[in-house]
Amino acid sequence: MNKGVEAIPELIHKLYKIVGELEAHFPGRKFTPDGHLVGSIGEVLVAHKYELKLLPNSAEKHDAVDKDGSIEEIYFDKGDKAWNIAGKMQKNGQRRISLNGLKALS
């Protein structure tokens, strides 16, 4: 048997411990060990770096606001262009698109 497989129960235990610690440090932000984990880590790091205020999970239109209004514009054009190359519709009505995909449209 692969020793990595034997390590899974301990690693999962550690992962859930880390998830609990992350959620304790950032109340209201979920770090569930699924697709949200990486996204939430990115959100809190960017919010910290750019001094943004995170909005509640699944807030309409954006994830955070900036107290001084400064931004980096990645894409500015009609939304249908981005929508047409975005990924499959998710249950929450959102579709994914990479930054590189948006930059390629600009």
pLDDT of 30-73, one tens digit each?
A: 888 877 777 787 788 888 887 888 888 877 777 888 876 566 77
More confident position, 1 or 99: 99
Question: The pTM is what?
Answer: 0.47
Mean pLDDT, range 10-27, rounded to an integer: 92
Half-sphere exposure of 77 (CA within 13 A, CB side): 12
d(CA 87, CA 81): 12
Contact predicate 102/73, CB 8 Å: no
What is the SS3 assignment for 101? Answer: helix
